[in-house]
Copies of this chain bind each other. A is one copy, B any other.
Amino acid sequence: MAGRNHLYIPGPTNSPHEVLSAMHLPMEDHRAPTFPLLLKPILEDLKKVFRTETGQAFVFPATGTAGWEIALTNTLSPGDKVLIYRFGQFSHLWMNMAQRLGLDVEMHEVQWGKGIPLDDMEARLKEDTAHEIKAVLATHNETATGVTSDISGVRKAMDAAKHPALLFVDGVSSIASLDYRMDEWGIDASISGSQKGFMLPAGLAILAFSQKALACLDSAKFPRCFLDLKDQMNSNKDGYTPYTPSTPMLHGLRASLDILLEEGMENVYARHHRLAEGTRRAVTAWGLKLCAQPGFESDTVSAIVVPEDKDARDVIAKAFNKYDISLGGGLSEVMGKVFRIGHIGDMNDVSMLGAIAGVEMALLDCGIDIVPGSGVAAAIEYYRATVTA
């Protein structure tokens, strides 16, 4: 039936048609002498997105979940202590992975809706005078709660504690969307995936490692092959890969990088902030609240709390079944309590207004008492006041 699905989940995000068309091409010989002309510039340009000059970028034919594992298994060894703060489903999953891999995980619970508590972390790091903590695992943007942690602050806390631990950042739903500065913030592993800010289908783990992290490759004792970083490095240095890459995905990434870098990363961040802020104005106009506490609001996804007597799953189901809108659900602890609107990727004002208007219908259909049009009105005011084109 005519009428497209409107995709407002925080990933996979909408793909620009230029990206999809760039991926639609015949297969190629990945061992041809021309292949490095594709791969090498991609790896260089990725550094501009990660904002690192000293680090090195990598692309694996896998997903962000694999990215987490790559960071852990290529630099650490079973039994190594890692510090992680859990404040949502994705920080939980990363922690869980670390445990399953046999790391010694020191996990601190944080209220879902807040990000990493910087003072707390600084204090904990100062206590660790023996430097037993080998790595800090920080979730930059917790997709489940719509919370952004202050990674610059994490670095400051580590510096204040003079702690030498590696800093690994899950930037799956932040990199290429939110302000992210690998070198400036002293990040040792930056982990992302193709299906968020890069606006591609899932299927690539996109990473960058600092020289400090790369120096750990030889000592890391986890068994690994498919996700081995040294194999990638050995092949990448000549412009090749250790096993067959997805050439369409690389062409798509090329197109994505062209779009991002032409817009300019600062503009990309500003666009995401503006789209998010309009959404937040709508939420306030509805009389609802974000899951994110003040100061932690994410510019890539808003998790919106429904009234206590309502189930957010109904909102999502009505949006999907009646209006062909895909919203993000609440995961784990916040299941049924929140629904999520992604404002990440190939979006602009009218995309967001469609989401907001559509959500108004679903909220009303669920008997949630909002003033029809109020969210749209609030977002309109904001977008009009801040539009630059």
Contact = CB atoms under 8 A, between A and B. Distances in A.
B380 A360 contact: yes
B21 A4 contact: no
B226 A65 contact: yes
A379 B360 CA distance: 11
Contact of A21 (B22, B68, B193, B377): B22
**Size bin of chain A's contact surface:** 35 or more
A132 B267 CA distance: 61
A210 interface: no
A364 to B, nearest CB: 6
Interface string A345-365: 111111101111110110011
A3 B373 contact: no
Contacts of A372: 376-377, 380-381
A11 to B, nearest CB: 7
A255 B2 CA distance: 11
A150 interface: no
Given A262-B1, A377-B373, A24 B23 contact: yes
Interface stretch (A50-58, A153-161, A319-327): A319-327
A58 to B, nearest CB: 15
Interface stretch (A114-122, A180-188, A197-205): A197-205
A364 B379 CA distance: 13
27 contacts: A2-B271, A2-B345, A4-B17, A4-B26, A4-B346, A5-B26, A21-B24, A32-B320, A32-B326, A62-B62, A62-B66, A64-B244, A65-B242, A65-B243, A100-B223, A201-B247, A202-B247, A203-B246, A226-B227, A321-B389, A323-B389, A353-B357, A354-B357, A360-B380, A372-B380, A373-B375, A373-B380
